[in-house]
Structure 1
Amino acid sequence: MKYFLYITLVVLTSVSLSATSQAKEKQGKLTVESMKLGYPVPAIPFYHFIAQLNLPEASIIEVEAAVNGKPMRFVNLYKGDLHEELDKPALTHRPPSGYALSQDNTLYKQPVITGWMKWNPGESYEITLTLRVKKSARPSDDDTFLTATQIVKAPEQAKIFDSAWKNYKSIVLSETAGIDREKEPVEVLLPFYPDEANDLKREIRVLEVDPENFALTEVPCQVFDIQQYTVEDDLEPEKEGQAKRHIPLWMPTVTCKLAFLANVPAKSSKVYLVYYNNEKALAKTWQTDLRVQGELPGLRIDNDYFNAVLHPNSGHLDQLTLKSKPEAPLFHRMETNGAIHWNPGIYVPPRAWTHTADWKHDQNMYSISGPVLATAEFWGNLRDMPEVDASVRYTFYPGVPYFESTTNMRINETVQTIALRNAEIVFKRELMTHAAWYDVIRDEVITYNVANMADLTDLKMEADVPWITFYNENTGIGFAGIQLDYANASLESRSRLLNPYFYITAGPWIYWARALSLSFLGSNMQQVIPAMKGSLFTEKWAYLVYETDKETPYREVLNWQKKLTQPLRVQLVEEVDERVSRSLVEIYMDEGKSGWEERETGKHK
């Protein structure tokens, strides 16, 4: 049997500013069907209270909540007949800017109210709900107020984190590919108020919430790339002669990147809590299999699967060894700089071919190392080519047989080129016997014996080839590229590319590369194609080293391609801080209508 708690309420009309007006009392009933405390779940990914109400009649309402007399800022209002799946991220959310700029004109009969609430095991809390019942979307003196109060007690054996950490943010991860994810690296950007960010690298902790029993498990994490903007709004008026503003347009903010290792079962969502703001926290050291040795640019990076060596001059991938096959390292060492990874690159005669792999300590360099990720980043002008900027960024992770590479090229001034390329991977010819890739036109995987192909014969494929691999059927080693992102754009002009495609060719070496504009390999090899000022070329690949399968040599490539092209979906949910204003000022470029003038719900001035 389901029990309902009926509360008799005093209903007051708003007091008018008129000296002759008096408040009128009415009796009404509000049914509080249930009010309880809850653990973080994907739809409500924070410790909370949830109340199910029944109003005397369907009404437009505003809701305020208080816990032990303190007003709450994070309160959500839902229609009771709209059921959310608690094990999935919430579909609807009304942010503070929504409340600040518009009224809610929805009719509620059985509303559900949730609030972000920090409760402790075994403690009791007095929760007061105040509903303003309105005749229309806009408040009026005829509105009535319903107030209900209940005392709720938190579970005695509740599993919560150390209360010395004053704040937390919630992250909901969702798996969509149907693959169990174990220790999968996740990266997210987080904002903080400066007085909460004492020492983020020392203080931040990441906790996994068990969806069955709500137990908390700390997972390896890494904080990096901390940026601070501490300038405060001076509240000066928007226009001369106006009064000073009382609402800031912005607040000083500290941001950082956070990486952590997550475990999410196939086709499910899971909550992770990021705790911070504990100035007395001790630094915590996590140990994983990710190791970095040496100095830039020639770093050596290890995990349980492979050892990667970066070139001592350019910092580009120079050698790669699969640890299960230490007798057969992969390398190039044939032409000029000899690196495996060559591009971005350009050929503007009479100047020499130039590639990012030709850098000789004349590039900018930066690296990060930690338990969850390690990076090696290089950027600057292409050598002897001030008209072109480029960058190469590698990211390595623990416990996986791949690393990621992001390359960018920007044309600062128009140049006349016969070769504009990216994503080139080169090996010594004898190290590979076969190539394979998915051909979108034929809708099949093409396997090609490259050991016997004629020198400088090109194998062509589409520019958006989803994956490509070289492998050696004798050593059982394969190296694959899985395309994660690819885009070409231009600011000053329309994009001008000559027959863009991807290709493989062989000589003393064997390589694949992206042809953006490559008349050098066209029918008229001396025609020049302008690379226009403002053009930008970017792409991201995952490079996988693996043991081949006897039946389907590239089977591992297919498995990882499915996983890497469908990463965990990330949703950040944050508490509404007390300093967030309840109203909002916007600045428009030109004077004129806002679009809200005739709309009943608008709060715009």
Structure 2
Amino acid sequence: MIESDKNFSDLAAMENSDGSIEKNITTHPHHHFEENMASANLQLKRRKFLGLGLFGIASMGLPNRVKGFDNNYVEEFVNDIVASETDLFKKHSDSFEDKMKLMQKAWDEKDFRMVRSLSDSIRNTGIQAQNEYEDPGKPLLNGNQFGIVATLPEAWRIWAKGWKYYKVLALEEKAGIPRQAEPVEVLLGFRSDQVNSLAREIRVVEIDNGLLKEVTSQVYGVVRRGSERLCKVMFLADNKGSEKRQYLVFYGNPDAELPEYTTDLEVRGEGYDLEIENQYFIAKLSKQTGQLERMLIKREHGVELYAGGPAHAETPCIDWSHDYVAEDFFMKVRIQYWGECPDYEITRGPICTIVRRWGFPHSALHPIYNPSRLNINVEYRFYSGLPYFFKSSKMKAVKAFVIQTMRDDEWVFTGQPFTGSIWIGADEKVKFGEVDVANKHSVKGFGYYNKDSKDSFVGLYLDHSSEVIPDLLDGGSSLFYYNWHGTVWVRHPTIDGIKNHTIPEGAILRQKNAYVTIAFTEKDGPGKIEALRKELLNPMDSFSSDLATITSAKESKRSLARPGEAGDSLISKAVLWEALKSCIDQQMYISNVNLVELGYIYNLSVEGDGVVKVLMTMPHRGRPLSSFFIWGSSVVHRTVSKTIVGALTEIPGVRKVVVDQTWYPEWNSNLMSDECRKKLGI
């Protein structure tokens, strides 16, 4: 096995325009990343300049004079087109700067309803800018690092029939801890000309003694940056401890369908009003705030953790953080006061459900007191097959302000479900009872257990760090009988016991915690908790790798492709996809963009009896009716556009068309093709 700092040329092969194959002279795995990002930024600038190109206006041709040799007119015409195309986006949208000017004008004129409308419009401008320009990070493997499946040993080529390209990565376990189905996440880059849909095409495969074995994977966070598409790939990995293992990531199969994997992770609900279940627990998030409201531990009779009663007039949840108390104890400012999440993102898949929420906390008299001082970003991650979930957070001070105290972790359980408490000190060992004075500011975890039912809930602190604030505390306190109705644990990360201290501008506080529910006894529970914390603090390392010397490529029993994914579809999928290009989004009128270009079609499959199934989305929830495209409505392009049913049933062998609509993943401009982006001037 060649480590990541070696030459990468043995891995990759380049495909010539005539279909022949040659070795790729790509060097170090990360060598071209900076060049690629520079190219991406340049292409973004070019995209702004060129606007629609010559694709944007239907039926537009060159004037007669252009067809001759009047070079001055050609130059004038091109300049006019470029100028109009440069202005196209401005003509149909407005910039952040323009909206800010309009909002200032409305504010000066005391037109506060207009201020509210413009603030919402600015928010949506921010969403689109995030989609287009947010830095996804540095990929483990970039688009130019790949191999050609045709160069693999024959047994592997046959097994991976239908896929054209692959990448190689490796995992190393360094802590000597056996792992089973551990989630691993990597950021990968792909050339746009080598893939149609990352969500449909990516398959992760482990190399095991010459055998290729597909592992459960999940693709999310897809973005386009210049000539590359990037995405996060999460997959489940096994390791006996202290092993290095190699994985192939296959892609480049236009016939691929969205993979279905067996999972115990079930998600019910919409938005952040979710109920998330695996084999260990059921977690219910608040439909108001998205906080973890209650949890059912799936053991014995199923103890339910909840925070009952009206609390302090907020909606009760077992997770009460994050918040701060303003100077002089004037008021509390907290995310528990949110009437709804100011902003959120949801990721759903067979391995993990991610719920991310952020915004400024509200006061008890919101919006009278409406400080924009501490931005709070909180993320939950719930996994399949694991007895724990993660919570990560980032709190950033956008201006200096004075507080009395701050909390970044607080849990409340009503009904006395536990009989004892535990905590982890600086020595990484579990202890029983209350935190002692010596460890007041060095707590590494907390928890509660029931000696009779063996139920437990333990928080493990995996990361607690800050910028600008030098005296971050790892302390906290526990009240086992809080007002005689429940159990409370709370952590204060800033200066303890000093009234009215300043949080400086730019200060950042981060945390990552794991919350575990396992069968716990006083005899074996501490050892389980300590071992799990060590495991979570020492995840497996992922790195780019050349393909190890293949001594014996063995034939696997089951091919990578499902029926219909290896060119064996009863009806050509290429023909079906091409037919769908005749389905135009008629609300874009003269742009003449079709559903495939726009990325509305998420999946396409063919059943044995001539039934074609289509999974599609809509661009936003203001356009919820996919039936507009399925069987027809008022048609603008009567001589051009077809309905999905009409286009597909024209193909011989298609007996029936079934179309389902989904909102996951949420559509955005990164799903549009390059051709579509040119037409729309993006």
Equivalent position amino acid for 1:284 in 2 = P
- Determine if the alignment matches structure 1 residue 562 to structure 2 residue 534: yes
Q: 1:503 — aligned with what? A: 477
Query: Given the alignment of the two structures, is residue 359 of structure 1 paired with residue 343 of structure 2, yes or no?
Result: no
More relative contact order in 1 or in 2 (CA 8 Å, sep 6+)?
2
CA contact under 8 A between 2:425 and 2:442: conserved in structure 1?
no
Alignment of 1:174-323 (within 5 A): 174-210=172-208, 212=209, 214-230=210-226, 252-323=227-298
* Residues 429, 372 of structure 1: alpha-carbon distance in 2 compared, 3 angstrom cutoff: same
In 1, the alpha carbon distance for the partners of 2:437 and 2:288 equals 31
Distance 1:178 1:168 in 2: 29
> Which residue, out of 501, 509, 512, partners 2:489?
512
Structure showing greater radius of gyration is: 1
**Offset of 1:557 from its aligned partner?**
1.3
Relative to total residues, which structure has the larger strand share, 1 or 2? 1
Cα offsets for 1:465-489 (capped at 9, x unmatched):
3332211223321111112212111
In structure 2, do the counterparts of structure 1 residues 72 and 320 end up closer, same or farther at CA, with 3 Å as the change threshold? same
1:343 matched to 2:321? The reply is: yes
| Letter paired with 1:512 | W
Q: Distance in 2 between matches of 1:182 and 1:498?
A: 35
TM superposition shift of 1:70? 6.1
SS in 2 for 1:195: helix
Which of 497, 517, 521 is the aligned partner of 1:549? 521
TM-score under structure 2 normalisation? Answer: 0.56
Percent identity, aligned pairs only? 26
Residues 430/438 of structure 1: CA separation in 2 closer, same or farther (3 Å cut): same
Structure 1 residues 574 and 275: CA distance shift in structure 2, 3 A: farther
Deviation at 1:445, TM superposition (A): 3.5
1:419 aligns with 2:379: no
Residue 487 (structure 1) aligned with residue 485 (structure 2): no
AA matched with 1:554: P
Mapped contact 1:340–1:427 kept (Cα < 8 A): yes
**In the TM superposition, what are the counterparts of 1:381-530 in structure 2 within 5 Å?**
381-384=360-363, 385-428=371-414, 430-440=416-426, 444-448=429-433, 461=439, 463-490=441-468, 495=469, 497=471, 501-506=475-480, 507-508=482-483, 509-517=486-494, 519=496, 522=497, 527-530=499-502
- CA shift in 2, pair 1:547/1:46, >3 Å: farther
Of residues 540, 551, 554 in structure 1, which corresponds to 2:512? 540
For residue 622 of structure 2, what is the aligned residue in structure 1?
Answer: none
The answer to whether the 8 A contact 1:461-1:502 is kept is no
Cα offset, 1:356, TM superposition = 2.1
Distance verdict in 2 for CA 1:532–1:399, change over 3 Å: same
Amino acid at match of 2:475: Y
Deviations 1:173-200, CA, capped at 9 Å, x for gaps:
1112222212111111111122123111
Q: Which amino acid aligns with 2:260?
A: T
- 1:346 is displaced (CA, Å) by 0.6
Distance between the aligned counterparts of 1:118 and 1:499, measured in 2?
52
Measured after TM superposition, the shift of residue 322 of structure 1 is 1.5
Q: Deviations over 1:49-75 (max 9, x none)?
A: 79xxxxxxxxxxxxxxx9x99652247
The answer to whether the 8 Å contact 1:42/1:271 transfers is no
Measured after TM superposition, the shift of residue 500 of structure 1 is 5.9
Q: Is the 8 A contact 2:408 2:492 kept in 1?
A: yes
- Secondary structure of the structure 2 residue equivalent to 1:424: strand
CA-CA distance at 1:295 after TM superposition: 2.2
Assess if the C-alpha contact under 8 Å between 2:206 and 2:213 holds in 1. Answer: yes
Compared CA separation, residues 159 and 555, structure 1 to 2 (3 A):
farther
Q: Distance in 1 between matches of 2:515 and 2:3?
A: 33
Distance in 2 (alpha carbons) for counterparts of 1:70 and 1:564: 43
Is the CA contact (8 Å cut-off) linking 1:344 and 1:407 kept in structure 2? Answer: no
**1:199, 1:119 → 2: CA distance?**
18
| 8 A Cα contact 2:189 2:228, kept in partner | yes
Is the CA contact (8 Å cut-off) linking 2:449 and 2:456 kept in structure 1? Answer: yes
Q: Which amino acid aligns with 2:280?
A: Y
Q: Secondary structure at the match of 1:294?
A: strand
The Cα of 1:325 is off from its aligned counterpart by 3.4
Q: Aligned partners of 1:474 and 1:332: how far apart in 2?
A: 21
Check conservation: 1:45, 1:271, Cα contact below 8 A. no
1:159·1:216 contact (CA, 8 Å) conserved in 2? no
What is the distance in 2 between the residues matched to 1:500 and 1:484? 11
Distance, in Å, in 2 between the alignment partners of 1:184 and 1:286 is 16
**Could you tell me whether the CA contact under 8 Å between 1:464 and 1:486 is conserved in 2?**
no
Counterpart secondary structure, 1:563: helix
Task: Report which stretch shifted further, 283-292 or 326-335.
Answer: 326-335
1:44 deviates by 11
CA distances 1:542-586 after superposition (whole Å, capped 9, x unpaired): 1101111252333331231121111111113489xxxxxxxxxxx
Paired residues, number: 418
* C-alpha distance after superposition, 1:225-246 (max 9, x if no partner): 111123xxxxxxxxxxxxxxxx
Deviation (angstroms), 1:378: 0.9
**d(CA) in 2 for partners of 1:261 and 1:354?**
40
Q: Is the 8 A contact 1:345 1:420 kept in 2?
A: yes
| CA distance in structure 1 between the partners assigned to 2:351 and 2:472 by the alignment | 41
Kept after mapping to 2: 8 A contact 1:502/1:514: yes
The match for 2:349 is 370
Q: In 2, distance between residues paired with 1:94 and 1:357?
A: 45
Which residue identity does 1:374 align to in structure 2?
T
Q: How far apart are 1:294 and its partner, in Å?
A: 1.3
CA RMSD across the alignment: 3.4
Query: Structure 1 CA distance, aligned partners of 2:394 and 2:518?
Result: 27
Query: Structure 1 residue aligned with 2:24, among 73, 80, 95?
Result: 73
**In structure 2, C-alpha distance between the alignment counterparts of 1:220 and 1:280, rounded to whole Å:** 19
Change (3 A) 1:208 1:48: farther
SS in 2 for 1:559: helix
Q: CA deviation at 1:156?
A: 6.0
User: In structure 2, how many angstroms separate the alpha carbons of the residues matched to 1:312 and 1:97?
Assistant: 45
1:125-136 matches, cutoff 5 A = none
Of 556, 560, 572, 2:544 maps to 572
Q: C-alpha displacement at 1:307, in angstroms?
A: 0.8
Could you tell me which amino acid in structure 1 is paired with residue 217 of structure 2? C
Any idea what SS the aligned residue of 2:517 has? strand
Give 3-state SS (helix, strand or coil) of 2:360's partner. Answer: strand
Distance of 1:516 and 1:222 partners within structure 2: 35
8 A contact 2:8–2:546 mirrored in 1: no
Matches of residues 134-145 of structure 1 in structure 2 within 5 Å? none
Task: Tell me how far apart the structure 2 counterparts of residues 95 and 516 of structure 1 sit (CA, whole Å).
Answer: 38
Helix, strand or coil for the counterpart of 1:516? coil
Structure 2: 5+ residue stretches without partners: 36-144, 364-370, 548-682
Q: Where do 5+ consecutive residues of structure 1 fail to align?
A: 1-39, 51-65, 77-92, 101-114, 122-153, 231-251, 451-456, 576-605
TM-score of the two chains, using structure 1 as the length reference: 0.62
TM-superposed CA distance for 1:160, in Å, is 5.7
C-alpha contact 1:45 1:172 (8 A) present in aligned 2: no
